[in-house]
Structure 1
Amino acid sequence: MKKTINEEYGIRAAELTKVGHYDTFTLHQTRFFIIPINHLDDEELFELYSFSQYMTENREPYIASMVLTKENNLFFEKDDQKYILVKCGAHKRKEGNRIGRNLAAFHQKGRLFPYQVNKTQRIGQWKYLWEKRLDQLESFWREKIHSLPLNQFERRFVESFPYYLGLAENAIQYLVDTELDDDPQPIDSGTICHQRFHQHTWFPDINVKLPTDWVFDHCGRDIAEYMRHLFFEKQDFRTECFHFLEDYDRTTPLSRFSYRLIYSRLLFPLHYFECIEGYYLAAENEKQTYEKLLERILNESAKFEMFLRDYTRLLTSKTRRVAIPSVDWLIK
């Protein structure tokens, strides 16, 4: 890899180390990341490059910018795999960073992106994408019912799926009702978001924002996914969620439409779907991770229902200006 980097970019990498999932090296106070991109087509890659150029020009801190090869290409190939090289300052993360405030500022800039977005566009597509995902998993579930014998993971999947099917249908209906009942405000226009935003997306020890993580969507995507992450990772998730939302809202006040969209996304059991899908895509030696995760998800389903109830109460009691509809069966 070091030889290829030298050939493609004329950059001599002294030593490769791992940061997260990526190979990296440091040269003259600059950190370089080598990122595999087989999952991206050329048009997607160019949109992500445009996002990173725009955010860098608008002084968003810690953006990793894509480095062009000596031939002015965005990527290089090695062993049938496509890669990009990105660079950023080798900054250590400061303690006390307010993630809600920083995310709101990031979204503020992203909303002003001036060009047409096609391949990475997700805004307005949640209903279609959720229904498609739900239909696929339901078909797979029906196959599994008739393909006995089942192992322990598959039994848990077969028994639990109807509950999560109902939750997903609630989420889709809540989304449809939101789009019918509430008018989007300027805050609800599309912005640069992340595939799955959580506390490790911008890396725990260093400051870096990788454009390969991005899509163009409603800000509620990142807010909901960060709150979902807090539920599973933090003991005191209610307090952390409140402070995160409060910090975001103080920086960029959210609309009622935003709060309802966030709730619809929290209702959609993405964590369950990703666990089931991950298990069947995983290598044999990785399946145990998903077995443990599914057991945890199922054990904490009542706690997650309470979290969903708390969201609507939190908005009413803390903000005193937002009341959004509840889901009837959750509050009984």
Structure 2
Amino acid sequence: MLTTYNSYLAHILIIVSKELEVMNNIVMNKQLLHEQYGITVDQEISSGAINIYNGGGRVFMSFAINMEEQDLQERSSLAYHMHNKGEKGVWLPLLNNEQKLLTKLESNDYVVCINEMEIPQSYEVGRELAIFHYRGRSIPQRIVFCSRIGKWKEMWEQRVDQLERVWRDKLAAKPQNDFEKLFIDSYPYYAGLSENAIQYLVDTEIDENPEMVDAGTVCYDRFTSETWGPGSNGKLFSEWVFDHSARDIAEWIRAYYFKQPNTYHQGVESFLRQYQSITPLSTFSARMLFSRLLLPVHYFEIIEQYYVTKSEGEKTRLEERLENFVKHSTMYERMLSEIYELAGILKGNIKMVVPEWIMNGRTI
């Protein structure tokens, strides 16, 4: 078993989630792990703000976290539920000797977790995601603090309003560089996409009745092809939210499309086919998927990241990405126009119709 875990440790590449707001990089020392958790460290692998340890043939992780205690307790219950249902690769938060999830170290709160089952190295991501969602739907307790169920409209409108305020400020002040000029010129188009996404979402919630598969489940803040890939940390509860399964499906497709915008068809079609071999999409799910893809989350994140980062190199990279998004916006529209077909939904289904303006702009 020790050999298995050593091989598991060897391929771990640390990826810091946006949910992990790390104040600074302090390594939780071996003495504290022993005193607070009874863990004797045999091997330590540290990278960035997340630290991986091997002790007694078991794998542990520690990281600094900025999260309310109630939210953390709720996510902890999600982790144990998923583990108990047989989900592999889930990190389980441990209680310290004071029976608390958080341990204070030099003004930071830390969490220590154990991983008892590694992620399989070979799997079909669509199928495994459907099983993950199936297990997450059976959580018996009411989820409050990390729930996003029924909140899409409110959260989307808030995000659009915030970005519009920034846009108006930059418009009034005149652009200071090429990025701001591109932002000012492109925003009206993406604001229009956002309005369409919100309206599509509202129409879905009014016109369609959710089915059992539309119940809330464990999702990721951002699920991509790298989330469970070879360099993954495993399944970390701090990256989770409780939401509709369409969230993960849409974000995987979005990320996959931007990785290979000219050759996405087969990969997306295969992913959706794998998923639906376990859980076929309901009409409600399919429309939720489309509305989320229609919302230009990728555009929002580029603008938001640009005005937060202090790195000139990162700003240059973000400017290039924004330029690429704007230049190839019609290609993204084409992907949207094809998404129902890629999901195996027959043409002529009057409940799943792509907005006419997208279909009219579709290039053949």
Q: Which residue in the other structure is 1:199 paired with? A: 225
Q: Which residue in the other structure is 1:303 paired with? A: 331
CA change 1:49–1:178 in 2 (3 A) is same
Q: Which residue in the other structure is 2:69 paired with? A: 42
Structure 1 counterpart SS, 2:277: helix
Which structure 1 residue ranges, 5 or more long, are not aligned? none
Aligned residues: 330
Correspondence 1:55-134 to 2 at 5 A = 55-89=82-116, 91=118, 93-95=120-122, 97-134=123-160
**C-alpha deviations, 1:216-254, integer Å up to 9, x for none?**
111000100111011012353111111111111110121
Distance in 1 (alpha carbons) for counterparts of 2:151 and 2:303? 22
Deviation at 1:72, TM superposition (A): 1.4
Correspondence 1:1-332 to 2 at 5 A = 1-3=28-30, 4-18=32-46, 22-38=50-66, 40-89=67-116, 91=118, 93-95=120-122, 97-205=123-231, 208-234=234-260, 236-285=263-312, 286-315=314-343, 324-332=352-360
Q: Percent of pairs identical after alignment?
A: 38
CA change 1:119–1:206 in 2 (3 A) is closer
Distance in 2 (alpha carbons) for counterparts of 1:23 and 1:175? 40
C-alpha contact (below 8 Å) 2:268/2:342 kept by paired residues: no
Distance in 1 (alpha carbons) for counterparts of 2:232 and 2:219? 20
C-alpha contact (below 8 Å) 1:316/1:323 kept by paired residues: no
CA change 1:7–1:296 in 2 (3 A) is farther
**C-alpha deviations, 1:160-187, integer Å up to 9, x for none?**
1111000000000000111111111111
C-alpha contact (below 8 Å) 2:121/2:230 kept by paired residues: no
The TM-score normalised by the length of structure 1 is 0.92
RMSD between aligned alpha carbons? Answer: 2.2
**Which stretch shows the higher mean deviation, 15-24 or 170-179?**
15-24
Structure 1 counterpart SS, 2:219: strand
The TM-score normalised by the length of structure 2 is 0.85
C-alpha contact (below 8 Å) 2:119/2:228 kept by paired residues: no
Distance in 1 (alpha carbons) for counterparts of 2:303 and 2:231? 30
C-alpha contact (below 8 Å) 1:92/1:205 kept by paired residues: no
Deviation at 1:320, TM superposition (A): 9.2
Structure 2 counterpart of 1:179, one-letter code:
E
Structure 2 counterpart SS, 1:49: helix
CA change 1:173–1:211 in 2 (3 A) is same
C-alpha contact (below 8 Å) 1:63/1:208 kept by paired residues: yes
